[in-house]
Structure 1
Amino acid sequence: MFDTLAPVDHRLRALGLRLFGISCLSIMTVLIKLASDAAIELPEIMFWRQALAVPVVLAVVLAGPGLASLKTQRFGAHLKRSVMGLTSMAFNFGAIILLPLAEQTTLGFAVPIFATILSALILKEQVGKHRWGAVLAGFAGVLIVVQPGGSHIPPLGALVGLTSAIMISLTSLQIRDMGRTEAAITTVFWFSALSVLPMSLLLPFFMTSHDGYEWLLLSGVGILGGIGQIGLTGALRLAPVATVLGMDYIALLWSGFFGWLIWNHVPGPATWIGASIIIGSGLYIALREHRLAIERTKDIIV
């Protein structure tokens, strides 16, 4: 467990790494949407996202802990994580393609809300009234953004976006369990490596010839995806989640800016109001969990 009073320089480095990672992934989402606009199919985008991330992650491993860090006694768990991760990625990328960037990003912020519900249902964790209150507030924010029955955003896109948030929540619970025995970089590497084979089997059915611009988009998706993932992981090695979580919401500013710059989309008031509620709920849940973790640690020490 990270020290709650991590040195200031560690916290600053963690915040910087988290911001860097989020920025890389935000630009990656832009490239995914541009690739889709260029008629590149989703399975091919997913293949290059994973295939080009492998050498990036491997380079970090070689420069840091070494190949020995990739050894695992839980290969089956990594296989399950890869299946879950690919499913989550398909819905996430689908939401990026179907929704305006700001709305897709906002629905993605519902992950802590769904993770709280799933941890109570699946892991039988005790969730107090404070966090349940935050969950209800978060759902209110989701309803404001989605506006069921309205024409604010495409219904299919909203469904895919919410399914993506649920799948990512399930994946986060799986990663939390694996984190008890597996290093973060080990999990990242095996997810990327094990994902390449099944995606390569689909590639002949979806791959087309590309010009330089399209190869640039696909290369950017893979490289930035790998670098961004490493940045997020590295931040958590230096500081607790509660310390760096605020950086994640910078993604909404990036998505709003790029959505306006490239697609001339300006998020409406409902998106900003709903996003504020969802973000507030997610932050409260994270801070509450962090406080409870500290209290449990104190009880163990005492």
Structure 2
Amino acid sequence: MDGSVARPRPMLAIGLRLLTAVVFATMGMLVKLGGERGVHLVEMLFWRQMITFALITAGLALLGKLATLRTNRIKSHAGRAALGGFCMFFVYGAVLLLPLAEATTLSYTAPFFAVVIAVTMFGERVGLYRSAAVLVGSCGVLVIMQPTGMGGEITAFGVFVALAAAAMVAMISFQIQDLNKTESPWSIIFWFTALSTPVFMMAMPFFAGAHDADTWLIIIAMALSGAAAQILLTSSLRFGSAGMVLLIDYTSLLWATAYGFTVFDREPSANLWLGAPLIIGAGLLIAWRERKLAIAHKKAEIAPE
């Protein structure tokens, strides 16, 4: 559990990412179940962060790796924690406001926002491929937003919350990319939870409620699945590139759809099957183009002058 670069192991990375997709979908299902049983969003966020913080700290202590948490970039960690904590409100909020499959599909728009951020904040030039991908993905969002005859489950506000979550996830990816230059993955997770947990704790007296035993089991399972997903995600990126495992992330839609049908008795709408391929296809196009550009840039760096 240190910051060293692990030897690439593609099959292990894919296996870990498949498991990550299952756990993330399970967490979303449990968030939705908890919301239906009256658990406030702030409660869920507190337990999610506190349990992850406890597990990471205990694991590092047992392995004698607490010294790896020393950092000279506490301000950068604080900025990541502030945006990450705010983002979690929208990520969990989207799950509570929308059916699981639609909330999951809209989370796949994060690469589109990453392109927009690269242009507006970093002055990066975007060519035809990525521009077309953003356009196609936007069409997919519009398809999903259309009335479905499912009792008004797809609301404009719910879609806005999901898209805001995806935009913040894209911004956080740039923060983590910068932190990864000097910090270990475990340090990034530790400081995120260490700095955000006290904030949620201060809010708990205003939002915490009494719950029965079954509801507490849901809360604990949700928090544990969130912690496991974070650790699995970090581990998968130690053994394989983000581009290689991107396709695996989309399998979470299968699990979200299955949970929606079996747990919440909600069949996926026709609009989902029309919009999801547009969004997923556009995301894959962006990933393919990013990989091509990275290869070209690497060749240009090593080319003799």
TM-score, length-scaled by structure 1 = 0.93
1:268-301 C-alpha deviation (Å, 9 max, x unpaired): 1211111111011111111211221122112111
State whether structure 2 residue 107 is matched by structure 1 residue 108.
yes
**Larger mean Cα displacement after TM superposition, 20-29 or 82-91:** 20-29
TM-superposed deviation, 1:47 = 0.4
Gaps spanning 5+ residues in structure 2: where?
Answer: none
Gaps spanning 5+ residues in structure 1: where?
Answer: none
Partner of 1:266: 267
TM-superposed deviation, 1:100 = 0.3
The residue matched to 1:263 in structure 2 has which SS?
A: coil
Report the AA paired with residue 300 of structure 1.
Answer: E
Q: 1:253 to 1:300 in 2, by over 3 A?
A: same
Partner of 2:75: 76
In structure 2, what is the Cα distance between the partners aligned to 1:16 and 1:300? 33
Partner of 1:92: 91
Partner of 2:117: 118
Partner of 1:174: 175
1:78-125 C-alpha deviation (Å, 9 max, x unpaired): 111111001110011111001000010010010111111111111222
Q: How many residues align?
A: 297
In structure 1, what is the Cα distance between the partners aligned to 2:136 and 2:130? 10
In structure 2, what is the Cα distance between the partners aligned to 1:240 and 1:251? 19
In structure 1, what is the Cα distance between the partners aligned to 2:297 and 2:51? 41
Aligned CA RMSD, in angstroms, stands at: 1.9
The residue matched to 1:230 in structure 2 has which SS?
A: helix
State whether structure 2 residue 252 is matched by structure 1 residue 251.
yes
TM-superposed deviation, 1:55 = 2.1
TM-superposed deviation, 1:169 = 1.3
TM-score, length-scaled by structure 2 = 0.92
Q: 1:142 to 1:71 in 2, by over 3 A?
A: same
8 Å CA contact 2:60, 2:66 repeated in 1: yes
TM-superposed deviation, 1:63 = 5.9
Report the AA paired with residue 158 of structure 1.
Answer: V
TM-superposed deviation, 1:58 = 2.6
8 Å CA contact 1:56, 1:227 repeated in 2: no
Q: 1:125 to 1:262 in 2, by over 3 A?
A: same
Q: 1:273 to 1:63 in 2, by over 3 A?
A: farther
8 Å CA contact 1:119, 1:173 repeated in 2: no
Which portions of structure 1, spanning 4 or more consecutive aligned residues, are displaced by more than 4 angstroms?
62-65, 148-152
The residue matched to 1:265 in structure 2 has which SS?
A: coil
State whether structure 2 residue 229 is matched by structure 1 residue 228.
yes
In structure 1, what is the Cα distance between the partners aligned to 2:281 and 2:64? 37
TM-superposed deviation, 1:173 = 1.6
